[in-house]
Structure 1
Amino acid sequence: MSFFLIINILYALFNLVLIMTWLKMRREKQEETSQRNTKLTVIIPVRNEEDNIVKLLQDLDSQNYPFENFEVIIANDGSTDQTESFVLAFQENAKFNLKLLNILDDKSSSPKKRAIKKSIEISSGELIITTDGDCRVFPNWLVSIEQIFKTTNAKLVSSPVSFINEHKFWNTAQIIEFASLIGSGACAMYLKKPNMCNGANIAYTREVFEEVGGFAGNEHLASGDDEFLMHKIAEKYPEKVVFNADKNAIVLTNTQADWQHFYQQRRRWASKWKYYKDWKVSALAIFIFVVNLGVIWSFITLNYTNLFLKLVFEFAFLSLIIRFLGHKDKIKYILIVQILYPFYVVFFGLIAQGKGYTWKGRKLS
């Protein structure tokens, strides 16, 4: 039995576990509470988001959560467009407490972590919720997050993120690829082995943020405001890091418009892998890399058994996640993306060993 065949058998079993875990998680129903009295702080770090920020603020103005019980802090990180003026104009008639925090562009090595940290310093909420300036949220977004926070007594809540549907293949490919990350990350949390989350939709208590020292220890890394913090919290409270499998909690954002932006974003994400302190998280990343390397080898050697093992079980899992995220129409494209995906994983796995990338007009490392 070849090495790659063994790897693909293990990967098939891995996907089978994910499928069973996801189905079990979706069957569970959280207890409901109608109090909605937790004080929330929504932090939105932004840089040059004049095309998007008003839409998000309008979504927040339509929340079915008591307006007196949440505040929103826009951390304006050196925007050079009209982001600041748009926020100030909206502030005049906002139903909720809207604060604008202007942060000087001091060439920080981790602008987003700095923006979040400074926002927490002036915040008043018990629960900190972060999202991005180019996101959209549903009317029960805050209700859903507070609900699971209350019923599970969680320290960190990770909620689903997906992309706005544009009916283009470039958009479709990103939706399918990202669904695999959201789904596998959710299942890992349910199994009390959290490994990934997304800063566009996470919540954590102010108390636990201070208890673990916030972003201390990885301030020098531009990326990782979400996962490194989650790992620190999970180290102390593995039972209290939970996934919010509620469609009302889904945050939608834009896909990367072109290859150049996609390349820089994925390089930014991949740059975190080498800094994971938990060996299990690093081992999983290496395992996925080897699986996809094996698929490329299967194309070269025409070994269709390997391909079958990977594609069938992975397809079944992805179909469940994509349907949950509201993209049922994308299921028919999964196979195409599955064939292309291994080349993408191997490519970015290799270039992640290099240093530096460009993001929001800045060169970071």
Structure 2
Amino acid sequence: MTAPALILIPLLITAGYVLLMALLARGWSRLGGCPPLRPTEKVSVIIAARNEAENIGLCLQSLADQHYPRDRFEVLVVDDYSTDQTAAIVEEFIKQNPEVNLYLFRQTGRHGKKAAIALALEQARGVYILTTDADCEVTPGWIAAMVSVMESRKAVFVSGPVTFKNTDGIFRQLQDLEFISLVASGAGSIGAGFPLMCNGANMGFSLKAYRSLQGDALRNQTVSGDDVFLMLSMLDRYGSDKIAFARCRDALVFTGPAGTPGDFLNQRLRWTSKSMAYRYPPLILSATMVFLMNALLVFSLVAGLFVPRFMLWFLLILLLKTLADLPLLAGFIRFTRKHVLLWLIIPAEPLVAFYTTLVALTGQIMPVRWKGRRLRGG
């Protein structure tokens, strides 16, 4: 490779990445809040659960504590062949809380989260559908906040903020910061008019709009991605102005970080496994730009161990990437009131670059497992 190319290629990659992050930060700043709502429409909350005996009780209690009329929402839990006491805990909760419209369904024949969601959608009676995960807890104003965004903006799909709870220790804090970058990027992209990602732990949509979609909206043949594929189907059918993000603390959903590095890596491999099924150009271009920027950072660091001048490249690229990331990250950190994470941004940058590059390169070939179930490979 010629000397001009060695300079031009890193400059183009860096410039493209800086532009992308600037657009996402601007999108985040343009997002509105959650206006007050007079509850009228019925809401169905869907939870797909597999082996969540440790968490499902807290999740259900947070839904029972909602500041939303009890007769205006229902909770549909679908047990995905749990081998623990998940179903029994849900049944006991139903007995102890008869005032909550809570129903338990069991998978028959099909398996997996997408099949569980499809089963619940067949039973849902709400005008709006909200989804969360069995290992999550929602704020008391969650339903009202998510519905208010859909109604005030006439949206057919709304994504909501998700953040980690119980983040003591450096490993969990690093996960928290990395996860914040993902959620913030998804929020910023929605605000910028080119939705890139969302999280099934906190999203909502119009049931009527869902039923109007053509074909396989959830991409049932793909391991993961029930959330992103549905959002992209809504985007294709209704346009970006009908996709919204709930930027308010009442819409926050809390989940736990991975317990071990192995769990963390397997989770990210599962998320990455769906990437080859994407056909949305802005998503493909953005993911490619992020990969190239992280790969460039890794390459310059490794090369710098052998050729000192590349270490200067590494430090310069690290500085530019950090400055590009800072506005979006700092904005979302302030939103979640996790200011302690700010000091981690600089040391986390090279770590995230290494793992992101590794996962991107191996995500299509490595075995993927989830809760004792082999999803691919192995």
TM-based fold match above 0.5: yes
Superposed displacement of residue 136, structure 1: 0.7
Match of 2:15 in 1: 9
- 1:321-354 CA-to-partner distances (Å, cap 9, x unmatched) read 1221231111111111112111011100001121
Asked if residue 337 in structure 1 is aligned to residue 348 in structure 2, the reply is yes
Superposed displacement of residue 107, structure 1: 6.2
Of 100, 107, 112 in structure 2, the residue corresponding to residue 103 of structure 1 is 107
Match of 2:260 in 1: 258
- Go from structure 1 to structure 2 and tell me whether the alpha carbon gap of 1:329 and 1:165 turns closer, same or farther (over 3 Å shift): farther
Match of 2:150 in 1: 149
Question: Mapping of 1:80-91 within 5 angstroms?
Answer: 80-91=83-94
Question: Mapping of 1:164-203 within 5 angstroms?
Answer: 164-203=165-204
Say whether the 8 Å CA contact 1:215–1:229 is kept in structure 2.
Answer: no
- 1:123-174 CA-to-partner distances (Å, cap 9, x unmatched) read 1111111110000111101110111111011100000111113211111111
Say whether the 8 Å CA contact 2:33–2:247 is kept in structure 1.
Answer: no
- Secondary structure, in 3 states, of the residue corresponding to 1:11? helix
Structure 2 unaligned spans of 5+:
1-6, 304-309
Asked if residue 22 in structure 1 is aligned to residue 45 in structure 2, the reply is no
Superposed displacement of residue 356, structure 1: 4.0
Superposed displacement of residue 64, structure 1: 0.4
Question: Mapping of 1:26-45 within 5 angstroms?
Answer: 28-33=32-37, 35-45=38-48
- 1:258-312 CA-to-partner distances (Å, cap 9, x unmatched) read 0221111100100111110112211211111001011112222111222211112
- Secondary structure, in 3 states, of the residue corresponding to 1:199? coil
Question: Mapping of 1:49-64 within 5 angstroms?
Answer: 49-64=52-67
- Secondary structure, in 3 states, of the residue corresponding to 1:71? strand
Q: How many residues align?
A: 359
Superposed displacement of residue 31, structure 1: 4.1
Superposed displacement of residue 78, structure 1: 0.5
Asked if residue 359 in structure 1 is aligned to residue 337 in structure 2, the reply is no
Match of 1:281 in 2: 283
Superposed displacement of residue 216, structure 1: 4.7
**Greater CA deviation, 240-249 or 159-168?**
159-168
- Secondary structure, in 3 states, of the residue corresponding to 1:92? helix
Say whether the 8 Å CA contact 1:113–1:215 is kept in structure 2.
Answer: no
- Go from structure 1 to structure 2 and tell me whether the alpha carbon gap of 1:218 and 1:254 turns closer, same or farther (over 3 Å shift): same
Superposed displacement of residue 21, structure 1: 2.6
Superposed displacement of residue 10, structure 1: 2.4
Match of 1:74 in 2: 77
Letter in 2 for 1:221: T
- Secondary structure, in 3 states, of the residue corresponding to 2:369? strand
**Greater CA deviation, 292-301 or 128-137?**
292-301
Letter in 2 for 1:75: V
Letter in 2 for 1:44: I
Say whether the 8 Å CA contact 1:44–1:130 is kept in structure 2.
Answer: yes
- 1:37-79 CA-to-partner distances (Å, cap 9, x unmatched) read 1100000000111110111111111110000000001100101
Of 314, 331, 334 in structure 2, the residue corresponding to residue 320 of structure 1 is 331
Match of 1:291 in 2: 293
Match of 2:4 in 1: none
Matches of 1:225 and 1:214 in 2, distance apart?
A: 14
Instruction: With the length of structure 1 as denominator, give the TM-score of the two structures.
Output: 0.94
Say whether the 8 Å CA contact 1:273–1:285 is kept in structure 2.
Answer: no
Letter in 1 for 2:182: L
Match of 1:230 in 2: 231
**Greater CA deviation, 334-343 or 5-14?**
5-14
Superposed displacement of residue 179, structure 1: 0.9
Match of 1:269 in 2: 271
Identity of aligned residues (%): 33
**Greater CA deviation, 275-284 or 194-203?**
275-284
Say whether the 8 Å CA contact 2:217–2:233 is kept in structure 1.
Answer: no
- Secondary structure, in 3 states, of the residue corresponding to 2:226? coil
Superposed displacement of residue 15, structure 1: 2.0
Letter in 1 for 2:15: I
Match of 2:307 in 1: none
RMSD: 1.6
Say whether the 8 Å CA contact 1:292–1:346 is kept in structure 2.
Answer: yes
- Secondary structure, in 3 states, of the residue corresponding to 2:194? coil
Match of 2:96 in 1: 93
Letter in 2 for 1:319: A
- 1:174-228 CA-to-partner distances (Å, cap 9, x unmatched) read 1111111111111111122111111111101111111114745721112111111
- Go from structure 1 to structure 2 and tell me whether the alpha carbon gap of 1:318 and 1:150 turns closer, same or farther (over 3 Å shift): same
Match of 1:134 in 2: 135
Of 44, 49, 70 in structure 2, the residue corresponding to residue 46 of structure 1 is 49
Say whether the 8 Å CA contact 1:298–1:307 is kept in structure 2.
Answer: no
Superposed displacement of residue 6, structure 1: 2.3
Matches of 2:363 and 2:262 in 1, distance apart?
A: 16
Matches of 2:191 and 2:161 in 1, distance apart?
A: 14
